[in-house]
Each structure stands twice: as C-alpha cells, then as structure tokens.
Amino acid sequence: MPAAAGLLVLWATAVLHWSAARASQRAVAAKAPEESSASSSSSTAAVRTRFSPFPFLLRYAVAPMVAQSDLPFRLLTRRYGATVCYTPMLYAARLVEDEAYRRDAIDFDPASNGTAPGADRPLIVQFAANDPATLVEAARIVQHLVDAVDINLGCPQDRAREGHYGSYLLARRDWPLVRDMVRACHDALSVPVTCKIRLLDSFDDTLAFCRMLEDAGCAMIAVHARKRGSDKRRRVGPADLAQVARLRTLLRVPILANGNIRCFEDAEANLRATGAEGVMSAEAILACPRLFAADAALRQAPAAEMAREYLSECLNCISPPPLHWISDHVHNIVRAHIERNKWPDLRARLKAVGRERPHAEGLGPQSRSSEEQSLRAQEYAHGFAAMEGVLVEVEQRLAALHQQGGADAARALVQQQRALKRKEKAAEEEPVTGLFVEE
C-alpha cells in the first residue's frame, strides 16, 4: 500500500475508534444518576472492555505542574519521547472572569488550532474547578487548542482546601458534584474529559469513585497512587502502584500510573507492573527532561547541556514563561550536582533570578505597553545571563572535581606501585627460612 493510502487508513481507523468510544461513553453517561451511582464495590466487579478515545499513545505522560509544565518544557520533553503533556493547572473561574489571567495562563502553542495541531500536541489542559457550568465555560475557551480537558482531583495544598478543589473533592459528600462536572464536560465539549485523582482511604472507595467517573463519561483516569497527605508532605513515601494494577483490571477506561519514577527503567517497570496504558512523571522529568528518551546516551547527557536546551526553547517562544519558572527549571536540572556537592551559593544565585525584579512576569504579545515590554526584555536578558553564569560555574566545578578525582586516582596508583615494590624488595632481603637453617 502506498504510504499516503496507509496514513489515510490509519487516520480513518482512529476516527472510527474515537466515534465508537464517544458513542459508548454517551450511552453510559445517559443513564439515570441512580443507575450510575457511585456505590459499586470491588466484590461485584468483573473485567470490562476498555475503550481509548485517544488517537495517540498515552504511554509517556508529562504531569500537570503549576509553574513548571510550561510550553517550552513540554516541547523539550516531547522531543525526547513524551507522548502526551498536561498544562499546569488553570483556575476555571479565573479563566472565565479575568482577562489578564486568561492572557497569561494560556501559553498554548499559537501555531496550534483544531485543524492544524502544532508541535505542542497531544495536550491535556487541567482545571481546578468546583462548578459544572463554570468549568464548561472555561473549557470552551480552550477546547479547540487541546486534546482533552482534565479535572484536578488530587491537589492536596492548603489553597485547594480553602478553594474547595483538587483532592478536597474526593470526600464522599462531593461525589455528586464531581459527577456533575464530568458529565457536563462530557455532554458539552468537543474533546474528552479526563480526571487526575489520588487514592482514597480504602481501595473499595477508590474503585467506587473511579467507576462513578467512568459512568459520568470520564475518558481516562490518571492515578497519583498516594493518599492526600498534607500541604507539607505531598509526595512523601512510595506510591502504592499495586492499587493502580488492581484498578487497571477493574476499570474500562485507560489509566495513567503516577508515582515511583526516578528514571526511564522505573517507567518501563511501572508500565509492566501496573498494566496501565501509560505512566506519568513530574519530579523526575523536571530533573531530566529527556527522561522518556529510549536512547540511554541521550538521557545521560550533561545537566548543563539539558538546561541550555531548555533555555533555548524559551528563547524560541513568542511568549516565554515567567523568569522565575525558568530559573526553577534550570535549578531542577542541575539540582543533583548542587545538592551532592553542597554548592548552596549556586542554588541561591538561581533562586534569585526573576524574583528580585518586578517586571519579569512573562514576556511577549500579552505585555501591555512598549515601555513595560522593553523593561521585561532587559530583565530577561539579565536573568538569562545570570543562569548561563551558573551553568558555566557548574561545568567548571565539575571539571575541577573530575581532575581532582583523576589526580587522586593517579596518586593512589603510584602509592600502590611503590608499596608493591617495597614489599618485593623486603621479600628479597628476608632470609629464607624453613629450607636451610643456619646454625
């Protein structure tokens, strides 16, 4: 079959698959609320058929990260194997009401739209929300730029408690509200709705909650396999991936397993262990944006090289992220060196970038006046120079350590050889005993 015809068949298959999945979801979601109640228990569960409404691979997902899963970072991770990315969490109500927020928060690739998805796709936009109508209104503003709309049901921070969103919607009294949000999105949007959750108190509760999501029309669930913890202890301890594996056999929608990834090998092991359609990474991919690259040599590139690659992605953006997000990225990438070698001065230099000046909040067409624009440009130039200075310093200190290590190793070898020679000489001089005894 000629290549073009092959592509056409692939495309048609994906579209058919997608339509079938949407039809099936609509049928399920059309059930009466009582029927799709959130009370099913694991004892009655059977393995069910799974639909993936997504015409792309979920396998390697870049997590939603406030102030970190920005456009240049997403583009960078995609270059190295990420198959789908999330935006940082956006506040649905603010997106609807606040024009300035809307201008700054929507960092999506300007070249992308419904008919010509650009380089930053597949993309899932995540929302903090607690009202179905507001969520739908916010989602409608961006749905033509994304492949799915996600509801944050996992954020444990104090501000999520105060604003009543994230993991604070996992309480049983809020299940009807969550169900209504999912159903409203499912019915009103042109793209699927997905949810990112944490584990509930018991496995049965988590399963019942997920079934409620499925029945309301949720097309995929990302499971951060930890319970809520607290604002200060958000990601402490290992994630319970065994629960994800059990959920995977009992739910019909695709699952992303989130937690316990330090390196590529962990990602692969987690996929095998959970059977999930994909894994999601946050902290490990911040430290190594090439985490999902199949080629180990790419993943092991020097940190400064990866940091510079991110900086150059920022420079290519029409509207780069705020300067302190950028310096946090650079810090995350070189952090292992800074911590292992105890270089707090370099950490402090990075942490100062973008935080000491008032205008460094985003740069680009959304900036208001040309005077402000030029002030910001100066600040970015200053900030980029400071970050480059730190990267050069990291490289020089590592080279010095390497040299020092080499010199230490050479000195140790010479000492070893000298000790060996002394031993040989002493053995030659020692009188032979046992064979001839001199009286």
- Which active-site residues does the annotation give? 155
25, 36, 40, 68: which one contacts ligand FMN (CB under 6 A)? 68
Does residue 274 touch ligand FMN according to CB under 6 A?
Answer: no
Q: Which two three-digit tokens encode residue 403? A: 């040299």
Structure-token match 């989602």, residue found:
139
Residues 6+ apart with CB under 8 A from 310: 72, 73, 76, 289, 326, 329, 330, 333
Residues 392, 77: Cα–Cα separation, whole Å: 23
User: What type of residue sits at position 39?
Assistant: S
Q: How far is the CB of 284 from ligand FMN (least distance, A)?
A: 6
- What's the token pair of residue 318? 């029409």
Nearest residue to 14 (alpha-carbon basis) of 54, 62, 73, 66: 54
**Span near ligand FMN by CB under 6 A; candidates 63-71, 104-112, 133-141, 426-434:** 63-71
Q: Which of 192, 217, 259, 289 binds ligand FMN (CB under 6 A)?
A: 259
Closest approach of ligand FMN to the CB of residue 329, in Å: 10
Kindly state whether residue 224 participates in binding ligand FMN, applying the rule CB under 6 A.
Answer: yes
Residue 359 binds ligand FMN (CB under 6 A): no
Q: How many residues bind ligand FMN (CB under 6 A)?
A: 21
Is residue 155 near ligand FMN by the rule CB under 6 A?
yes
Q: Which of 204, 266, 283, 361 binds ligand FMN (CB under 6 A)?
A: 283
Q: Binder to ligand FMN among 282, 293, 338, 390 (CB under 6 A)?
A: 282
Q: Which of 121, 196, 248, 324 contacts ligand FMN by CB under 6 A?
A: 196
Half-sphere exposure of 28 (CA within 13 A, CB side): 24
Please state, in angstroms and rounded to a whole number, the distance separating the CA atoms of residues 287 and 307.
10
What distance in Å separates the CA atoms of residue 279 and residue 63, rounded to the nearest whole number? 9
User: How is residue 173 annotated by DSSP?
Assistant: G
Binding residue (CB under 6 A) for ligand FMN from 40, 258, 274, 367: 258
Residue 336 is which amino acid?
A
The count of other CB atoms within 10 Å of the CB of residue 322 is 19
The answer to whether residue 129 forms part of the interface with ligand FMN (CB under 6 A) is no
| Cβ at position 151, least distance to ligand FMN in Å | 9
Q: Which two tokens stand for residue 12?
A: 């048609």
Give the whole-angstrom CA distance, residue 181 versus residue 175: 10
What are the CA-CA distances from residue 236 to residues 244, 329, 437 (Å)?
18, 21, 72
Binding mask 317-346 for ligand FMN (x = CB under 6 A): ------------------------------
Among 66, 250, 273, 375, binds ligand FMN (CB under 6 A): 66
Q: Which of residues 362-421 bind ligand FMN (CB under 6 A)?
A: none
Q: Which residues bind ligand FMN (CB under 6 A)?
A: 63-66, 68, 88-89, 126, 152, 154-155, 196, 224, 235, 258-259, 261, 281-284
